[in-house]
Amino acid sequence: MNIKLKRTAVLVSALVGAALAGCSTTSHEPAELEDINEVVEADKVWSESVGESATGLVAPAVTQSGIYTAGGDTVYKIDPRTGDKLWEAETDAEISAGVGSDGEFVAVGTVKGEVQVFDGEGKHLWGARLSSEMSVPPLVGAGLVIVRTADTRITAFDAATGERRWHYQSQVPALTVRAASQMRFSPAGILVGQANGRLLALNGQGKPVFDIPVAQPKGITEVERLCDVVGAPLVDQNMMCAAAFQGAVLCISARDGRPLWRSDVDAVSGPVTDGGRVYVTTTRGEINAYDYATGGLVWQNASLLWRSPSAVVVMDDVIAVGDFDGVVHFLDSKTGKFVGRTSVDGAVRVAPVPLGRGALFQTEEGQITYITVTK
């Protein structure tokens, strides 16, 4: 936590009603896991250690050319079939944010407040000093490396040369939630969830396309008024969605930005969809499923209270989350009932990443595991 930069609330999905800066805190016992009827079988296809990250928020990037991930001060390319490390490249400081890649360029942020960029074969291309540290993975594509720093500045660099193309500065709130989050490309432009509860879209020149509220700050204290947009925005051919801490999930039309639906929720993850439902994880540990078209609550699973479940990942016709104890839970997407379990080595804090018929789970301890399921 860098006090000179800003006051930061650290949220690992257990910050609910926890007061900061000397206020009282309330602890909660994680729910005990009950026996379930396992109707799917999990197969850990491979597992590889890449080392712990400085923030515990580093996640893999999947591209057509392979998987890129990081741990410690090292960036890796991994074979998606075998888990073998194809190459590794060192930075000059621990990695705090990443990985961003389009398969041609690979970018990470370091604790020195720098962005470091490599080509697809691990050759270092350039680095740049930033205005503050990164915790959000760089967004790489369209010839750009786009970074968001802790002071809410968004900066775009030429991916090949490192030349700064543009920057955008939004207002820095007094207090923010430090949670896993990401930027996304969309039909409207570059989607950025902001610490003031708003979803921002920037065009390729860094000019605002829209800036819409997902949630409004409420309450008197700074903690009560936290409403950061968390996780990654959802983007598909029909709609764009975002979710906010102590706020709501909002979905708008991908074609014209028209609001489609909104539902109040205290979110800790970005929304995820399988085309029939939209899934959000809450700060208490519930998994909520909303109707894709209307936003009506279809089901809620409250069996993982205070176990800090991750964002949902879709795996064929089941969904999965990992928790603070390294347990991976599989749920029936239609009913929300548990249908299987397995475990990985360490807490799953970042969103699992879909890959083929399965998903990648990277743990706080730096283990990345590829899991598939069969019935």
Q: For 328-364, write each residue's pLDDT tens digit.
A: 999 999 999 999 999 999 999 999 999 999 999 999 9
On whether residue 89 sits in a domain, the answer given is yes
The kind and range of the H/E element at 66 are: strand 66-71
Q: According to the model, what pLDDT value does residue 226 have?
A: 86
Which of 288, 301, 333, 336 has the alpha carbon at shortest distance from 315?
333
Which of 154, 122, 127 has the alpha carbon at shortest distance from 139?
154
Q: According to the model, what pLDDT value does residue 316 have?
A: 85
CA atoms within 13 A on the CB side of 284: 11
pLDDT at 18 over 80: no
On whether residue 39 sits in a domain, the answer given is no
> What does pLDDT average to over the chain?
91
What would the two tokens of residue 96 be?
């705090």
CATH number at residue 75: 2.40.128.630
On whether residue 163 sits in a domain, the answer given is yes
On whether residue 243 sits in a domain, the answer given is no
Out of 224-233, 287-296, 301-310, 334-343, least confident range: 224-233
Rounded distance between C-alpha atoms, residue 218 and residue 292, angstroms: 27
Summarize the confidence of residues 23-45 as an average pLDDT: 86
**Which residues lie below 8 Å from residue 6, measured CB to CB, with a gap of 6+?**
150, 151, 172, 173, 174, 175, 176
Range(s) of the domain holding residue 121: 58-178
Q: According to the model, what pLDDT value does residue 224 have?
A: 87
Rounded distance between C-alpha atoms, residue 86 and residue 249, angstroms: 39
Q: According to the model, what pLDDT value does residue 188 have?
A: 95
**Which residues lie below 8 Å from residue 249, measured CB to CB, with a gap of 6+?**
214, 241, 242, 243, 262, 263, 265, 267, 271, 278, 280, 290, 295
Residue with tokens 């109040």: 264
On whether residue 150 sits in a domain, the answer given is yes
Instruction: Tell me the pLDDT band of 5, cut-offs 50, 70 and 90.
Output: very low
pLDDT at 290 over 80: yes
pLDDT at 25 over 90: no
Q: According to the model, what pLDDT value does residue 9 have?
A: 35
| Model confidence, pTM | 0.92
pLDDT above 90: percentage of residues in the chain: 84
On whether residue 302 sits in a domain, the answer given is no
Triad 269, 193, 27: Cα angle to 5°: 40
What would the two tokens of residue 171 be?
């207002």
What would the two tokens of residue 342 be?
């397995």
Residue 340: Cβ-neighbour burial (10 angstroms; 0-12, 13-18, 19+): buried
What would the two tokens of residue 359 be?
């998903």
On whether residue 154 sits in a domain, the answer given is yes
Q: According to the model, what pLDDT value does residue 178 have?
A: 67
Instruction: Tell me the pLDDT band of 124, cut-offs 50, 70 and 90.
Output: very high
Summarize the confidence of residues 11-37 as an average pLDDT: 60
Domain count across the chain: 1
On whether residue 283 sits in a domain, the answer given is no
pLDDT in tens, 162-215: 999 999 998 766 667 767 899 999 999 999 999 999 999 999 999 999 999 999
